[in-house]
Amino acid sequence: MMISLRPTQADDEAFLFTLYALSRRAEMASWGWPEAQQQLFLRMQFTARQAHYKTQFAAADHHIIMLDDQPIGRMVVVRKAETLRLADIALLPEYRGQGIGATLIGQLLDEARRAAKPLQLFVERDNPAIRLYARLGFVQIGDIDSHLSLEWRADNI
């Protein structure tokens, strides 16, 4: 089992939409909308998110997480002079909870440690990944509506 990253390509759009839709599956089910309405809404939200990422994170590294030769997720990292920011990490549901995300974030923590920079991220307050971030040494530095701002520093651990 080989985990790697490769740059996102134009033909990854269908995979990225599927990944996005699956990440919102429980939310969509709770609304009780018909499937066609869910798909229209998800497509609209996905398109807006992609446009936001292109403008907000234009200089970011957009990667597809690969397991051997199979795409299983996405990771977006912003590298600035003073910080690293994990703008997005998502895995297909069947690959969650297996240590893949922790391994990739661990690599970013190593990079942050070597560069003497903090690693920052935003996470929805009800996202189960908060437990992983706490275990890795992230601390809350802000509270913005439905999201928490977290930061890791080598001196936090």
- For the domain with range 3-156, which CATH number is right: 3.30.450.30, 3.20.20.390, 3.40.630.30, 3.30.200.20? 3.40.630.30
pLDDT of residue 157: 56
For 36-85, the pLDDT digits (tens) are 888 899 999 999 999 988 898 888 999 999 999 999 999 999 999 999 99
CA nearest neighbour of 98 among 132, 136, 68, 126: 132
For 79-111, the pLDDT digits (tens) are 999 999 999 999 999 999 999 999 999 999 999
- Find the distance separating the first CA and the last CA of the chain, reported in whole Å: 30
CA nearest neighbour of 74 among 62, 85, 82, 86: 62
Cβ neighbors of 130 (< 8 A, separation 6 or more) are 123, 148
pTM check: above 0.95: no
H-run or E-run covering 129: helix 129-135
pLDDT of residue 32: 82
* Residue in this structure with the two tokens 């200089």, named with its chain if needed: 59
